[in-house]
Amino acid sequence: MKVPILILGGGLAGLTAAIHLSKMGHEITVVEKSEYPKHKVCGEYISNEVVDYFNWLGLQHVLAQSHPIHNFRLEIDESNVSEVKLPLGGFGISRYSLDDLLYQKAKEQGCQFIHEAVVSVKFIDDLFHIILTSGLEIETPIAIGSFGKRSTIDVHLQRDFIQKKAHWLAVKAHYEGLFSDNLVGLYPFQGGYCGVSKVEQNRLNICYIVQTDVFKKYKNISDFTENVLFENKGLKKIMSESKSVFEMPLTISQISFDDKKAVENHVLMIGDAAGLIHPLCGNGMAMAIHSAKIVSELVHKSLNNQTFSRGTLEQDYQKIWNTTFKNRLNTGKMLSKLLLNPSLTKVSLKTVAKIPLLFKYIIKKTHGNPITISIS
């Protein structure tokens, strides 16, 4: 089976790229092992920097179903609380709803979906040869990687980060409870931090990330919640007065924030497959969407040229990706180092909480400007 463009992974970035490229007239095939809709471990907050781009893609209905968010709150303890207005604002929407809405839009535009896992990825004679679990082999000149934080495809491609030990895990659930409508909150605790905000249906998304070594000291999620999460009194109040609508929280382990390459073995990486920013920065979903826009424009431009140059396409994408996202990732790493050093964490966070201008500056360093549309 031969296809002109193959997207490996149908998450947020992959679906966005599928919609963009199909809108430009390209035939798109997406390989995604899971069916839709499906919950995912995610902060489920998106910066408004994507709004103009979503409107151009014809995703106004997605924005209409989301929950607007204007303010950011950092709460360490009762005496160290700071709340600031977000420079651009944002919106909350669950991955359960968002990914399904994008999937339906992509199908409307003629994108083909194959719900299987990838067994092998090889690049031979200027073509990708991808083998799926059914034995189906797909050949394509262009492969876009959108397979998330950590995947067996990373193993197939022998990526450097996959060989190293990852030190983080994350837990997420939706709740019914009381929380400010237009607010996203960050609640630090020993070894990690928790984000709280509203999504559609007025539900709370409570998602936290923690160092694996800290979590392993406790028997289970309940034990960890009582002994660690509830040390943050603000978070304890929210969770104690809320009721989970999930039978069990969702978890994901082996989360790595090590450097990745935006182009690996000729695969153009987007979303978390290209680089993962610490969730405390609150910008991972917008970055995934933006990376899909960048790769889509470059692929479209490259295919419209009479002489296709893979080298130029890869160099241009790596350069633009670095220019757009590298500083945000570095800021995220700097902030995360504070969390890895208990003696500095509380002092540093208290300083940030007490100086709103510093707080706003850090937010701006981890967020981008509104995404501009430059289609040719």
- Which H or E element spans position 264? strand 263-264
Note the pLDDT of residue 223. Answer: 97
Q: Is residue 346 part of a domain?
A: no
Q: Is residue 147 part of a domain?
A: yes
What percent of the chain is modeled with pLDDT above 90? 69
Residue 40 CB partners (closer than 8 Å, separation 6+) = 11, 95, 96, 99, 250
Average pLDDT over residues 48-63: 96
Residue 25 CB partners (closer than 8 Å, separation 6+) = none
Q: Is residue 53 part of a domain?
A: no
Note the pLDDT of residue 339. Answer: 54
Pick from 6-15, 298-307, 358-367: least confident: 358-367
What single letter denotes the amino acid at residue 99? D
Q: Is residue 310 part of a domain?
A: yes
Note the pLDDT of residue 229. Answer: 96
* Omega before residue 37 within 30° of 0, cis: yes
- Cα dihedral 7→20→141→100 (10° resolution): 20
Q: Is residue 62 part of a domain?
A: no
Average pLDDT over residues 81-102: 93
Scored b (16 or more CB within 10 A) or e, 249-270 reads bbebeebbbbebbbbbbbbbbb
Instruction: With a cut of 90, say whether residue 283 has pLDDT above it.
Output: no
Tell which wins on pLDDT, 156 or 130. Answer: 130
Q: Cα separation of 26 and 20, whole Å?
A: 9
Residue 16's nearest CA partner among 7, 4, 3 is 7
Q: What is the CATH number of the domain that holds 120?
A: 3.50.50.60
- The tens digit of pLDDT for each residue in 336-368 reads 666 556 555 566 666 666 666 666 666 666 667
| pLDDT band, residue 333 (cuts 50/70/90) | confident
Instruction: With a cut of 60, say whether residue 376 has pLDDT above it.
Output: no
- Which H or E element spans position 175? strand 168-176
Pick from 94-103, 162-171, 199-208, 310-319: least confident: 162-171
Helices assigned H by DSSP within 12-83: 12-23, 51-57, 60-65
Pick from 54-58, 105-109, 281-285: least confident: 281-285
Sign of CA pseudo-dihedral 284, 288, 293, 294: positive
Backbone conformation region of residue 282, classed left if phi is above 0, alpha if psi is from -120 to 50, else beta:
left
Note the pLDDT of residue 277. Answer: 86
Q: What is the DSSP letter of 256?
A: -
What single letter denotes the amino acid at residue 331? T
Q: Is residue 265 part of a domain?
A: yes
Note the pLDDT of residue 102. Answer: 98
Q: Is residue 201 part of a domain?
A: no
Domain containing residue 271: 5-47+90-165+256-341
Instruction: With a cut of 90, say whether residue 239 has pLDDT above it.
Output: yes
Q: Cα separation of 328 and 330, whole Å?
A: 5
Tell which wins on pLDDT, 14 or 307. Answer: 14
Average pLDDT over residues 23-41: 97
Q: What's the number of domains the chain is made of?
A: 1
Average pLDDT over residues 288-302: 96
Instruction: With a cut of 70, say whether residue 108 has pLDDT above it.
Output: yes
Note the pLDDT of residue 40. Answer: 96
What percent of the chain is modeled with pLDDT above 70? 90
Note the pLDDT of residue 296. Answer: 97
Q: Cα separation of 184 and 186, whole Å?
A: 7
Q: Is residue 59 part of a domain?
A: no
CA 216 to mean position of chain CA atoms: 25
pTM above 0.95, yes or no: no
Q: How high is the mean pLDDT of the chain? A: 90
Q: Cα separation of 104 and 117, whole Å?
A: 20
